[in-house]
Structure 1
């Protein structure tokens, strides 16, 4: 089983919007009160925390039984967070306090003022996802700047995973967001120019510091987030479609903790911190699951310093950001491409350990056709 969040826009009237606003505000207040109790008493067990605050949430904040339980569950996920609280932006729902009628395109939600029915605006793709879902497990009410949305958590049966006849390695980077083991680059001058323009404008507005500049920064933040989200969706869709079409699995780097692990120059640092690599990995994962494509994560160490032909690993192999020259066999090529080939080898090894020698030999025999040698 896999879960997919489907976002639909809500069209509440003025009275309903007020009820939704009160619910979002009270839910956030309840979460912050629960978080205060959990930190004070070091009480993070869900059931113990529920015994401590459940009645107070019902009486003080006017939440229904299920909304109180959802608030407690949200706080339980904050264990270890020593600072920060909850903003009044969303409310979690389960199946008992949220229901959807696709024929009339109406969602029924529990609020602090009782149950309300809100019309939804559903596009064709969203309607297809909702109708093909096995069930709707719940959702999240989200308050935007000038609008309301509901994110519905849909459950799907996973298609049978195909047996891959190889792996498409994907190297994630800064100059090029992604490069695969076939040599295709998923980034270009337009993408990088947008990122640099946003960074320059953000620096200028932060230095100015006026109220107008802060408003502009907030607007820019939303625009940049939407751009990043759209780009990651488009990249992940192309990569998964290519792997599915060619009968291969997908191998990507395990980039957990990359921001703390790598040492970069200041311009590269800014680019690294401004791009949602984790989000791209998540989109690749769920799209691969829905397509029946095997996806594995591999150790990224030395993938860009190892020769895909002879296996020689040396720091000096990486002549520059883009160029790779093997100091042993003389193979010359694009460093990101060669890194993706190495990732493909490791992906195959992860699912075919007994046959690693055969797999590695097969790939390294002709890793990058046409690549010159010194």
Structure 2
């Protein structure tokens, strides 16, 4: 069984690259819209859908073969999710596109990535910190998602696959039931009361509601102060939870 970690990396773009990225994201979304409207509504099988629309998608939207396949795959996946949740797929926004090993590559020596776009291949430098560098160091990722955020910045969400370590064999097993009244109840009968953390959570919920109301009505500086206070509340809650967890351990 594989586990997947996604590393979100901001990329630096030139005006010329912005135009190519936006054109690619729009074409990818338009292709998804076309596939969704053309393929029979009840069809969710990816291969059957691809056999119906692949050549049209290539001809109409100028996508590479792999991007065209990923557009079909996204429609298939969205339809399966929609069917499970009981609603229909209605719209695809030009905010992301899926990449694989044929359309994406990562280069550690200069912390860049290469992507296939409409108009050719482009290389992008990362604007990332030590945390992302540490995760990507020595890795050879095969898949990524190009994302345009609401503020107009561009990110590459890189998926890193790994195998979890094999659990150590042991004859001792302890089950823990997590809750709110009792933060934890172990299978050997020990109970850890959740009264303290529940009190703090309820207090923080009230304070957050007040801060959000003040931030909505206040000035820019007051909103900054409210954000700082909310961050302190979250940090305090995490410290208390860590203390509880250490007590359970």
Whether TM exceeds 0.5 here: the answer is yes
Aligned mate of 1:188, from 201, 214, 228: 201
Query: What is the match of residue 44 of structure 1?
Result: 44
* Aligned positions of 1:57-136 closer than 5 A: 57-79=57-79, 80=83, 81-131=87-137, 133=139, 135-136=140-141
* Aligned positions of 1:134-149 closer than 5 A: 135-144=140-149, 145-149=151-155
Distance 1:19 1:197, change over 3 A: farther
Cα deviation, residue 16, structure 1: 0.7
1:195-217 deviation per Cα after TM superposition (whole angstroms, max 9, x unaligned): 53487589x99xxxxxxxxxxxx
Cα deviation, residue 166, structure 1: 1.7
* Aligned positions of 1:196-215 closer than 5 A: 196-197=209-210
Cα deviation, residue 4, structure 1: 0.7
Distance 1:39 1:200, change over 3 A: farther
Aligned residues: 213
How much is the aligned-residue C-alpha RMSD, in angstroms?
3.4
Distance 1:126 1:82, change over 3 A: same
Matched, 1:8 2:9: yes
Q: TM-score, normalising length from structure 2?
A: 0.73
Distance 1:199 1:39, change over 3 A: farther
Distance 1:180 1:191, change over 3 A: farther
Query: What is the match of residue 369 of structure 1?
Result: none
Cα deviation, residue 167, structure 1: 3.2
Distance 1:160 1:61, change over 3 A: same
1:99-120 deviation per Cα after TM superposition (whole angstroms, max 9, x unaligned): 1112201110111111100111
Name the CA distance, whole Å, in 1 between partners of 2:52 and 2:214: 48
Which structure's relative contact order is higher, taking Cα pairs within 8 Å and 6+ residues apart?
2
Name the CA distance, whole Å, in 2 between partners of 1:52 and 1:63: 16
Distance 1:183 1:45, change over 3 A: same
Distance 1:55 1:191, change over 3 A: farther
* Aligned positions of 1:158-177 closer than 5 A: 158-162=164-168, 163=170, 165-171=173-179
1:222-254 deviation per Cα after TM superposition (whole angstroms, max 9, x unaligned): xx9xx89xx6xx96xx67x948x93xxxxxxxx
Q: Is the 8 A contact 2:78 2:89 kept in 1?
A: no
Q: Is the 8 A contact 1:37 1:43 kept in 2?
A: no
Distance 1:56 1:161, change over 3 A: same
Distance 1:97 1:197, change over 3 A: farther
Distance 1:140 1:189, change over 3 A: same
Distance 1:105 1:36, change over 3 A: same
Residue 32 of structure 1: SS of its match in structure 2? helix
Q: TM-score, normalising length from structure 1?
A: 0.50
Name the CA distance, whole Å, in 2 between partners of 1:201 and 1:111: 45
Cα deviation, residue 2, structure 1: 0.8
Distance 1:60 1:191, change over 3 A: farther
1:134-162 deviation per Cα after TM superposition (whole angstroms, max 9, x unaligned): x4130100001221101000012212224
